[in-house]
C-alpha cells in the first residue's frame, strides 16, 4: 500500500489550536481505553479534566496521572489516517498544569488495499462524533471572516478545499447530516468545480443531501488533518488571521 505522509504541528498560536485541544483530549482517553481496557474506571476523571480545561479551571493535583496513554496509535478516517505523535508529552502537560505547547499529528493518505490485505478497523465512530462536529464547526467559525475577506462572499468561487470545509461545517451544525441548499437560485455545489479535499470530492447537491458527515462521509481520523490542510491554505494564501 503506497502512501504519502505529512506532519502537522498545531502550536499555541495556530488558528485552530483550541479546537485541536478540544478534539485531542477525549481522543487520548479513547486511545487509552481501546488499548488498555483496565483504565475504564478512570474515564470519569478524564471527563472531569476535559470539562475543567474548557472552563479555564486549574486541574486537580494528580489528574490523569495514572491513565496509560499510548505514544503512537493511528486513528482511521475515510480519507486519511492520523496519528497523535506527541501524546505522552501532551498528557504530562495537562496532568502537571503546564501550558500545552504543541499538538502534532502525522497523516497518511488512504488508498485501496491490495487483494487479501488486512486493514485495521477504525475506532468506533459512535464515541466521538459530537466532539468531531464541534471541532469542525468551531474551526470554520474562527476563520469565516478571514475567508470571506480574502475570497469574498460567493462560496462557489472559493478554493475547492474551503468550499468543502464550509459544507462540512454546515453538516456539523445540522445534526451531522449534509443539507446542501441552492445558493441564489444556483446549485449549492457546482459540478464543474466541486468542493474537494484530497481524494474526497462532493459531486453535486443530490449526492450529498442527507449523507452523514462523521461516520459516513468522514471519520474521526480525518478531522485534525482537514483542519491542518485548511490552516496551511490560509497561511500560504496570505488570508488574515
**Which tens digits make up the pLDDT trace of 65-104?**
444 444 456 677 889 888 888 777 777 776 677 788 888 8
User: Assign residue 72 a region: left if phi > 0, alpha if psi is -120 to 50, beta otherwise?
Assistant: beta
Domain tally, the chain: 2
Residue 7, pLDDT > 50, answer: yes
Are 134 and 214 found together in one domain?
yes
Residue 26, pLDDT > 80, answer: no
Residue 34, pLDDT > 70, answer: no
Sign of CA dihedral 163, 166, 171, 174: negative
C-alpha cell of residue 87: 501524546
Q: Which domain holds residue 92?
A: 5-109
Are 92 and 146 found together in one domain?
no
Is residue 198 one of the residues assigned to a domain? yes
Are 220 and 134 found together in one domain?
yes
Are 94 and 148 found together in one domain?
no
Are 136 and 100 found together in one domain?
no
Highest mean pLDDT among 39-48, 84-93, 107-116, 224-233: 224-233
Tens digits of per-residue pLDDT, 170-223?
999 999 999 998 877 777 899 999 999 999 999 999 999 989 999 899 988 899
Give the pLDDT score at 50: 58
Of 52, 78, 109, at which residue does a domain stop?
Answer: 109
**What are 109's strand-pairing partners?**
80
Share of the chain above pLDDT 70, in %: 69
The arithmetic mean of pLDDT across residues 92-119, rounded, is: 67
Residue 121's pLDDT band (cuts 50, 70, 90): very low
Give the pLDDT score at 125: 42
Q: How big is the chain by its Cα radius of gyration, in Å?
A: 18
Are 137 and 207 found together in one domain?
yes
Amino acid at each position: 500500500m503506497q502512501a504519502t505522509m505529512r506532519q502537522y504541528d498545531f502550536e499555541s498560536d495556530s488558528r485552530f489550536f483550541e479546537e485541536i485541544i478540544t478534539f485531542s483530549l477525549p481522543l487520548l482517553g479513547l486511545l487509552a481505553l481501546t488499548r488498555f481496557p483496565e483504565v475504564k474506571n478512570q474515564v470519569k476523571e478524564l471527563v472531569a479534566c476535559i470539562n475543567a480545561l474548557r472552563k479555564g479551571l486549574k486541574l486537580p493535583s494528580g489528574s490523569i496521572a495514572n491513565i496509560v496513554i499510548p505514544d503512537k496509535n493511528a486513528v482511521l478516517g475515510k480519507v486519511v489516517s492520523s496519528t497523535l505523535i506527541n501524546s505522552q508529552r501532551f498528557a504530562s502537560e495537562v496532568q502537571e498544569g503546564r501550558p500545552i505547547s504543541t499538538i502534532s499529528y502525522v497523516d497518511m493518505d488512504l488508498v485501496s488495499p491490495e487483494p487479501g490485505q488486512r486493514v485495521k478497523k477504525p475506532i468506533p465512530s459512535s464515541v466521538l462524533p459530537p466532539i468531531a462536529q464541534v471541532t469542525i464547526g468551531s474551526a470554520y467559525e474562527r476563520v469565516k471572516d478571514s475567508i470571506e475577506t480574502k475570497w469574498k462572499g460567493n462560496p462557489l468561487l472559493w478554493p475547492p478545499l474551503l468550499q468543502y470545509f464550509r459544507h462540512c461545517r454546515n453538516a456539523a451544525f445540522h445534526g451531522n447530516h449534509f443539507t446542501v441548499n441552492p445558493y441564489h437560485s444556483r446549485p449549492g455545489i457546482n459540478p464543474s468545480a466541486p468542493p474537494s479535499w484530497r481524494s474526497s470530492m462532493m459531486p453535486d447537491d443530490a449526492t450529498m443531501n442527507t449523507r452523514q458527515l462523521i461516520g459516513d462521509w468522514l471519520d474521526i481520523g480525518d478531522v485534525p488533518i482537514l483542519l491542518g490542510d485548511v490552516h496551511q491554505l490560509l497561511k500560504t494564501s496570505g488570508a488574515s488571521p
